A and B are shown apart, each in its own frame.
Chain A
């Protein structure tokens, strides 16, 4: 049996709770916190009741228990850190991750901030404490991209990597191309469907995609980059005419994130792509092509966001850790 503590009870946290309830994963949740409350129960928290409380607009636990209390006091094997991303300083998640690693607890996170900002330090801390730090859910939701590159493609040299890293932009561009909508119209539609936030800057200016590139560059490609190293152009200035001009040549426009390792290039920008190209996916899907020396080109396509889909990546990391470490401990 594996004991976990979950920080963050939004879309991803609840997705994980529902998956644990629905499937026989042999995972017990001994700590749980949202931004305003927390619970610690070594015997196992009643997740159904916590989901109910949250579903009724309440806090998940008691206001007397803080996330920091859960990190420091709960009895768990793995801290699951799934609070929203802060790209400025990664806090408070960064502190919580440090705290758990310092207690010799494994950490699984979906939070891009700490991984993009402080991966070398966190990895060293994990190693010093003999525990794992896993972050599959930070890039492209359900697609097991990091796992594939670290494990499946272990002997390969990856020279270039490029793809669609942001589902919101992909939805907007898909709709502009299909219906001749303006950017503003397509964005309004994406908001209505819950694909875009009230303030969509983070997505449409390419910041989200850029952070994902930094994570891949720093953690997989042995580069040392920051968000400022990414050349970045968003999709806000695109016109329906531009999409039509691309269409006339059997092409379309997609927001593409690209890393060219040797040239040290990290860039997010709208690009002209042949419609027959495997990266041209519809709606909110993500797609990434990896160019390698031994395996050739591989393209991964899947859901880049969503409660259950992101939970899938987190649970994959948890079971990875259990297979290798926790079992029998």
Chain B
């Protein structure tokens, strides 16, 4: 979100404090001083994670501090995980594999790149899953593991967590 605040000592802290008060996690703060000096206002962009449903409360708190929110850009699916799947993907109904993750509602397959080899050889695909939370990502990967066992697919997971 992009905030506008008075260019006075302590204002930035005043703007950040409510974020932790509502259980949010600040990922980045971008501070721009080259805004029109006459307005005596300061532009700050903050990237943050917020539990579902806490945004209205945060906006109230910010308003009380005299900070106005200029713009909010929301990205619902914050976590991303890339996996590679090897096996007879088409014969085992690839769209069903994808659908089982999408059906969770909180994780989605957002990208799929499929390499088609010679007929009857196993194919390889790279899939990107996005989810709202880390826990949902773990759940999605667990679902995928279950599907892989059932359909005899090999899943290559990333070394690092989402």
Query: A residues engaging B (CB < 8 A)?
Result: 162, 233, 237-239, 241-242, 244-246, 248-249, 251, 253-254, 256, 269-274, 277, 279
A245 to chain B, nearest CB (A): 4
Q: Which residues of A contact B124 (CB under 8 A)?
A: 239, 241-242, 245
Query: With an 8 A cutoff between CB atoms, is B123 at the interface?
Result: yes
The stretch that binds A, out of B48-56, B93-101, B153-161, is B153-161
Chain B contacts with A in 80-98, Cβ cutoff 8 A: 82-84, 86-87
CA distance A244 to B156 in the complex (A): 13
Q: How large is the interface on B (under 10, 10 to 19, 20 to 34, 35 or more residues)?
A: 20 to 34
Query: With an 8 A cutoff between CB atoms, is B117 at the interface?
Result: yes
Q: Given contacts A239-B124, A245-B115, A272-B157, list 12 more A-B pairs with CB under 8 A.
A: A233-B154, A238-B156, A242-B84, A245-B84, A245-B125, A246-B156, A248-B126, A251-B158, A254-B159, A269-B157, A271-B158, A279-B159
A-B contacts, 29 of them at CB < 8 A, read A237-B87, A237-B122, A238-B154, A239-B121, A241-B115, A242-B84, A242-B86, A242-B115, A244-B115, A245-B84, A245-B115, A245-B125, A246-B126, A246-B156, A248-B126, A251-B158, A253-B156, A256-B159, A269-B156, A270-B156, A271-B157, A271-B159, A272-B82, A272-B156, A272-B157, A272-B159, A273-B159, A274-B159, A279-B159
Query: With an 8 A cutoff between CB atoms, is B120 at the interface?
Result: no
B82 to chain A, nearest CB (A): 6
- Which chain A residue has the least Cβ–Cβ distance from B83? A272
B152 to chain A, nearest CB (A): 10
B113 to A245, Cβ gap below 8 A? yes
Chain B interface main SS type: strand
CA distance A233 to B87 in the complex (A): 14
Q: Which residues of A contact B157 (CB under 8 A)?
A: 269, 271-272
CA distance A224 to B117 in the complex (A): 44
Chain A interface main SS type: mixed
| Among all A-B residue pairs, the 3 with the closest Cβ atoms | A241-B115, A241-B124, A245-B126
CA distance A239 to B122 in the complex (A): 8
B158 partner, pick from A162, A233, A245, A272, beta carbons under 8 A: A272
A124 to chain B, nearest CB (A): 36
Q: Which of B83, B84, B124, B157 has the most CB of A within 10 A?
A: B84
A162 to B159, Cβ gap below 8 A? yes
Binary CB contact string for chain B from 113 to 157 against chain A (1 if under 8 A, 0 otherwise): 101010001111110000000000000000000000000001011
Q: Which residues of B contact A245 (CB under 8 A)?
A: 84, 113, 115, 124-126
CA distance A248 to B157 in the complex (A): 16
Q: Which residues of B contact A233 (CB under 8 A)?
A: 154
CA distance A239 to B121 in the complex (A): 10
CA distance A272 to B154 in the complex (A): 13
Q: Which residues of A contact B154 (CB under 8 A)?
A: 233, 237-238, 270
B156 to A271, Cβ gap below 8 A? yes
CA distance A251 to B83 in the complex (A): 11
